[in-house]
Amino acid sequence: MIKSFFLKNLDKHASKWVVLAIDIIVVMLNFLLAYVIRFGISGNFLETNILSQLPIILVFSLTSFIIIGSYKGIIRQAGMKDAYNLFIAVTMLLLMSSLLVFGSRKWFLFSESYNIPLSIIDMHYLLNIITLVTSRLIFKYCYYFIKHKVGENHRIMIFGAGNSGITTLSVLANDDNRAIKVVGFLENRPGKIGKTINGIKVYNAKNINEKFISKNDIDEIIISDQSISKKDLFAISDSFLKLGLKIKIVPSYEDWNNGELNISQIKPIEIEDLLERPSIDIQNESVVKEIKDKIILITGAAGSIGSEIVRQLTKYDYKKLVLVDQSESSLYDLQQELISKGVSNFEVIIGDVSNYSRMELIFYKYTPNMVFHAAAYKHVPLMESYPSEAVQVNVLGTHNLANLSDKYDVNKFVFISTDKAVNPTNVMGATKRVAEMYIQCLQKRSNTKFITTRFGNVLGSNGSVIPLFKKQIEKGGPITVTHKDITRYFMTIPEASKLVVEAGTMGKGGEIFIFDMGKSVKIFDLAKKMIHLSGLNYPEDIDIKITGLRSGEKLYEELLANTENTMPTYHKKIMISKNKGDLPYVFLKDRIDDLCTMDLLNHDNLIVSKIKEIVPEYISKNSVFENIDKKKKKYKYKELIMIDDNFQNV
């Protein structure tokens, strides 16, 4: 309380005018000191014209400080720029004083009382440079001395003594909300251990133990090493967490604000930071031309992927964004976020993609050039219980938007699919596969370029495993995992959304783009990492309970079907899926049209049977619909391929 009161009032009263007044007083005292040095301490100089010279020095110094603005800098953040401004202001004062002297001596423009000895002017100049710069440093260090000594103080260490670590030190020193004492740097590289940076010692990270932590009263570690691998990051974080320390991390250089690190960007380490997968490098040059002056419709705009696609698109020179979602609360939150960021030229619309009339009104009013279709039901067990709802949104919704895109001459339609559409074992994945098939059928006769993007799980998305694990840990456990060997592919929301936008840019129509998800992650290992990340131990503090595979759930997800292979693109992380052989487009389109027009109420078995006819590789697992597979007739695509000439009659 005392510290907060003191610092608050120090900030309040240490205005630029107080700084200016102090600078003027220092300059005036330096002028007197120059005379003392020149004529001695006896005071004989008082018989000179010093009393008439002081007012003119005051005017000159006031003028130079105001013109240069050297008094406007924040004292507690004084640096080289402030020192430079003071140097320029003092030099201007020197020039004005010199002109006054020459005007008095040679040109007789001024009173002889202004004839200041040149030695006084020179000494005054040097004294001003020394004392004004020194005063800034004194005030700065007094501020931080009081800040660190009065009240409670956070004692931290920075892992990484490179450029990022030094920048982090500077940012922490200027933090007004917390009194932070950087006890030292930590390093694994021998070349820097034992040295000092800005007076702060670099310690060997391997020597940090409980005794060291207790002796130095360390609260937290900030990891600021930009070259550290995910594997080493986890090992280091795990060792520090076991010592009872809080762990924070500095983001990568490319995520800094305009190349500058902000204190708000230093955040507690998350599981996303520890996944052993290199982040994806995004190439966005080609997107600029594609997005420029376009009207873009995004469905599911308030969801995890949809909202991030919106954020990515706001960086470009679009004409208008049309944001559609049926969740009014989430859409309102997105609207307020965009308004707070100063984003303009966007419309938010409440609407259900399965309502054709509502969607057509939107297409008619806004005539979009590009559609990103992210609206979908995605929860596997829930959709297994409600297949009619899965068809309503995932199939009929896509059916509606694809048909409207064709009708209103949309240039590109980008569909966000899932790895669960590959050899599906559940209703959700199967309905997404049906949607993929439909837009491929429509591509055969449409001028619209229909593009599919397919990727795995997204870290931190609504309903994903990581938020669930966090809640379970907060409640004291146990963490529930369906199978000890279950694995999943993961990607961050920004990575997935950027790749969707870029794939939409490169698409020519009819492609299924596959994203390189890296290595699949074992969910059981992910759960253990999250327990350690929370500063707890498995199984002593938090246990992991195996609950058994859920309805329709796979042990391993796939990104490619057995009948598919891939072709590379210019982006090494984006590939094109190529299906072997032709799909029976006429047959499929007819069957999908029938599925979309049938009575979906209370006909779950019939719905799933029709889906299985459309998607022969759909084999239910851990599901009530397994009995349908035993009776299902095997449809062979090669018997259903239609001649292209007859397709025009469809």
What would the mean pLDDT of 349-357 be, rounded to a whole number?
97
State both tokens at 408: 């209103």
What does DSSP assign to residue 573?
T
φ/ψ of 578, rounded to 5, equals: -120, 120
- Estimate the share of the chain in helix, then strand, then coil, as percent rounded to the nearest 5: 50, 15, 35
Check pLDDT > 60 for residue 553: yes
**Rounded Cα gap, residues 481 and 460, in angstroms:** 17
Active site residue ranges:
420
Nearest to 159 by CA among 241, 229, 251, 222: 222
Name the burial class of residue 165, with classes exposed (0-12), middle (13-18) and buried (19+) by CB atoms within 10 angstroms of its CB.
buried
What would the mean pLDDT of 34-49 be, rounded to a whole number?
70
What would the mean pLDDT of 116-128 be, rounded to a whole number?
87
539: preceding bond cis by omega (within 30 degrees): yes
Of 253-257, 338-342, 487-491, 605-609, the poorest mean pLDDT is in 253-257
Residue range(s) occupied by CATH 3.40.50.720 in the chain = 152-269, 285-462+491-518+558-631
Of 46-50, 52-56, 593-597, 608-612, the poorest mean pLDDT is in 46-50
Check pLDDT > 60 for residue 608: yes
With bands split at pLDDT 50, 70 and 90, how would you rate the model's confidence at 460?
A: low
Mean predicted lDDT score pLDDT of the chain: 82
Cα→Cα distances 588→438, 509, 522, 584, 642, Å? 7, 18, 36, 6, 11
pLDDT digits (tens, 9 = 90+) for 521-548: 888 988 888 887 777 888 888 999 999 8
Contact at 8 Å (CB) between 59 and 35?
A: no
Contact at 8 Å (CB) between 514 and 575?
A: yes
C-alpha dihedral sign at 438, 439, 443, 445: positive
* DSSP-assigned beta bridge partners for residue 220: 156, 246
Nearest to 310 by CA among 370, 354, 356: 370
For strands 512-515 and 574-579, give the pairing: antiparallel
**Which pLDDT score, from 0 to 100, does residue 603 have?**
84
Name the percent of the chain lying above pLDDT 70: 82
pLDDT digits (tens, 9 = 90+) for 418-447: 989 989 999 999 999 999 999 999 998 899
What would the mean pLDDT of 306-332 be, rounded to a whole number?
94
Provide the CA 303 distance to its chain's centre, in angstroms. 16
285-462+491-518+558-631 CATH fold: Rossmann fold (3.40.50)
What would the mean pLDDT of 275-296 be, rounded to a whole number?
75
Per-position DSSP letters for 434-503, written without gaps between them: HHHHHHHHHHTT-SSEEEEEE--EEET-TT-HHHHHHHHHHTT-PEEES-TT-EE-EEEHHHHHHHHHHH
**Which pLDDT score, from 0 to 100, does residue 614 have?**
93
What would the mean pLDDT of 403-418 be, rounded to a whole number?
96
**Which pLDDT score, from 0 to 100, does residue 2 have?**
45
Which CATH code for domain 152-269? 3.40.50.720
